A and B are shown apart, each in its own frame.
Chain A
């Protein structure tokens, strides 16, 4: 345990935002005025971060199925459209629209950006390109400005689960279900490198389990981080939440670490704090959830909390003082007919826990 880091960055939970449905991901807007959260009802929830109560505003609509991922340009993205969110749903739609005006028409929308579930979305550093990947085993790169298709990579053997732009913006990375990470040169459209993260995959009978679920770069651009689970079995998936770190220059695996026990299962989201440590959320067996702070070079996290069940997303406010964690209500599972006090069949929901970091 790094006590110095803990003293400096240990967060405290200050508020819980109630949401009546389940959510997949949350992100703060670069201006810091809004918290956006996307989920199972096809909407993007908005919360006003300028008010102490953080009231929920009218949601952004227009999607179908689940909104799986949302992305907003970084505050440093010099060529990005202002005040827009990019969002992708499980029926294949990709949208770019205002996060300020819920009544505004989208800047652009592509109803069939993919044939089915878009599982990840990423923006390049300057905010001009948006990459998507879907269960149609295709990766596409679009103009972030007008939605024009710029690049397409497809292969029936690549069941791609996540994408990320390299720091220099010249290449794209995609991680797949088999644990392979490929780097495409955006000029030649050719695969130039592969990174092996096969520890994150297992074939269990008929089921391909795990895969590379997330790709990130360290703030200095020298490390490629991938995350998921080291699977033990399919069905009721069990496995160790795992992070693998590659040296970007050499392509060598330099570190791999686990963040719990088998029932903790997946790293569900991760982000770098400007101070250089990772903030990760973990979700496993119903009730098992974690928020973890850890430096890659350390041997253990310096902060960890298990008080939030099944955490699915983490987002750091641009002020670096607030953190939002999408979790799940307690008692979310159970076999058979479990009715509520009114005799109705209840759904689950995703409280958003707002944490404050020391100033």
Chain B
């Protein structure tokens, strides 16, 4: 054996470390379809039956003034102008010129009014749909979709997260659903380390090892609670499916033109990977961008941040449309809240859940529509406001899930899948 190569058991340990977090909780195994690789489905095949989600999480709080709901020339409007879009009569910030050209594909919500103005509480609260407190931790939207819709026929994990920094398995996202519905996170868009079978281990031995592992697991479960063992087995299945799709992470296979269109920056690279994941059939792809909490130097900050968001966001909307995927891929772009009208002494904007915007596209979303409005200064919603519960109902409806009938079963406890005091926003649906 070559001395400087890692040992097989080190290899196995590393994989376990990557997946280890998944067995920290408990739950039942329900990852049907992960065991074997199926051929990549054609767009037409996927179109017919499989809806997917791209969830673009703009962490920290994008300013609605410097993006979707500009108020130029007003007290709180900031320095920037607004520009016309491909949707007549609808203007957005001048910092989003490319998005302006795809506005006719979008459904814009300008009357979000949510409940929490802190990151620590607001981030999970928003992504869990802020349901009524029933003494359980609700799943993030990605975990909910993974549970309710399954992984689909791609053979790939149902819920993946592409994010800056480190990867791993975010079992916490799943809440009471159990760890196997958590997010498999690709840190900086890279696959888990040591994912491939080590060269010193041949396929036959690998199969034999896995059979032994399954056998031992089965014996272990016979006299114990099965949740941990099931979750442990699930992540091995997940690893197996990814081992066969290393091509998804191969940057050399990307079109240089696409790389330029999306941008060579972190967000551009991650959005391009997201497109590939969606094309490969992953049910739910989350892309996270950090660094939007612009309490200081908000305007130079957004001047730097927005063009990069604009570039990659517009590119993926164009691509999903051109590939015929926008009819079945629900695209959600949002933060945990907006930013204050008031400009603080550090020339920043603080947290503002009172009146903010998010953008939707695809699936059943009505193309080229704007729902809701804020007052002339942008300080508060003018007219009806929507909470995140309204969005969860609407997103489920777009995915073909009737949130008034479908419930979670939490060990016999029926739970609504979205806030029961909210409802579908019909104006958003085609």
Contacts and interface: CB of A to CB of B under 8 A. Distances in A.
A232 B19 CA distance: 33
Main secondary structure of the interface of A (DSSP, over half): loop
A333 B295 contact: yes
A41 B266 CA distance: 36
A236 B294 contact: yes
Interface stretch (B8-16, B190-198, B245-253, B297-305): B297-305
A90 B79 contact: yes
A91 B266 contact: no
Interface residues of B, number: 50
B426 interface: no
Nearest to A265: B296
A335 B344 contact: no
A49 interface: no
A347 B344 contact: no
A335 B75 contact: no
30 contacts: A40-B343, A65-B72, A65-B73, A65-B77, A116-B81, A205-B266, A205-B290, A205-B291, A206-B266, A208-B304, A209-B301, A236-B296, A237-B294, A237-B301, A266-B297, A285-B296, A286-B344, A289-B345, A328-B345, A333-B348, A334-B340, A334-B344, A335-B118, A336-B352, A336-B353, A336-B354, A337-B354, A345-B380, A347-B75, A348-B343
Contact of B117 (A41, A285, A329, A336): A336
A314 B164 CA distance: 40
B94 interface: yes
B419 interface: no
A19 interface: no
Given A286-B344, A336-B117, A65 B80 contact: yes
A11 interface: no
Interface in A261-304: 265-266, 283-289
Interface string B285-321: 0000111111111001101110011000000000000
Interface of A: 21-22, 40-42, 64-66, 68, 90-91, 116-117, 135, 177, 204-209, 211, 234-238, 265-266, 283-289, 309-310, 328-329, 332-337, 345-348
Name the 3 nearest CB pairs between A and B, nearest first: A310-B345, A90-B79, A328-B345
Given A206-B305, A235-B295, A265-B296, A335 B346 contact: no
A21 B118 CA distance: 27
Interface in B14-73: 60, 72-73
Contact of B80 (A42, A90, A236): A90
A65 B345 contact: no
B297 A346 contact: no
Nearest to A135: B303
B76 interface: yes
B255 to A, nearest CB: 22
Given A65-B73, A334-B350, A235 B343 contact: no
B351 interface: yes
Nearest to A338: B342
Contacts of A335: 117-118, 340, 350-352
Contact of A65 (B81, B267, B294, B346): B81
Contact of B348 (A21, A64, A236, A346): A236
A91 B348 contact: no
Contacts of B300: 211
Interface string B258-276: 0000000111000000000
B341 interface: yes
Main secondary structure of the interface of B (DSSP, over half): loop
A40 B298 CA distance: 14
Nearest to B354: A337
Interface of B: 60, 72-73, 75-81, 94, 117-118, 164, 265-267, 289-297, 300-301, 303-305, 308-309, 340-348, 350-354, 377, 379-380
A345 B342 contact: yes
B296 A237 contact: yes
A206 B265 contact: yes
A286 B349 CA distance: 11
Contacts of B350: 333-336
Contacts of B94: 116
A264 to B, nearest CB: 10
Q: Which of A209, A289, A310, A333 gathers the greatest number of chain B CB atoms within 10 Å?
A: A333
A206 B304 contact: yes
Q: Which of A41, A65, A329 gathers the greatest number of chain B CB atoms within 10 Å?
A: A65
A227 B208 CA distance: 66
A235 B292 contact: yes
B343 A22 contact: yes
B289 to A, nearest CB: 6
B346 A284 contact: yes
B291 A207 contact: yes
A79 B266 CA distance: 51
A310 B350 CA distance: 16
B291 A206 contact: yes
B126 to A, nearest CB: 15
Given A41-B75, A333-B350, A337-B354, A348 B293 contact: no
A333 B344 contact: yes
A90 B60 CA distance: 26
Given A135-B303, A336-B353, A234 B344 contact: no
Given A177-B304, A336-B340, A345-B380, 14 more contacts: A41-B75, A64-B73, A91-B81, A206-B265, A206-B304, A207-B301, A209-B304, A235-B294, A236-B294, A266-B297, A286-B344, A328-B344, A333-B295, A346-B342
B389 to A, nearest CB: 19
Contacts of B341: 345, 347
B359 to A, nearest CB: 18
B186 to A, nearest CB: 16
Q: Which of A204, A211, A237 gathers the greatest number of chain B CB atoms within 10 Å?
A: A237
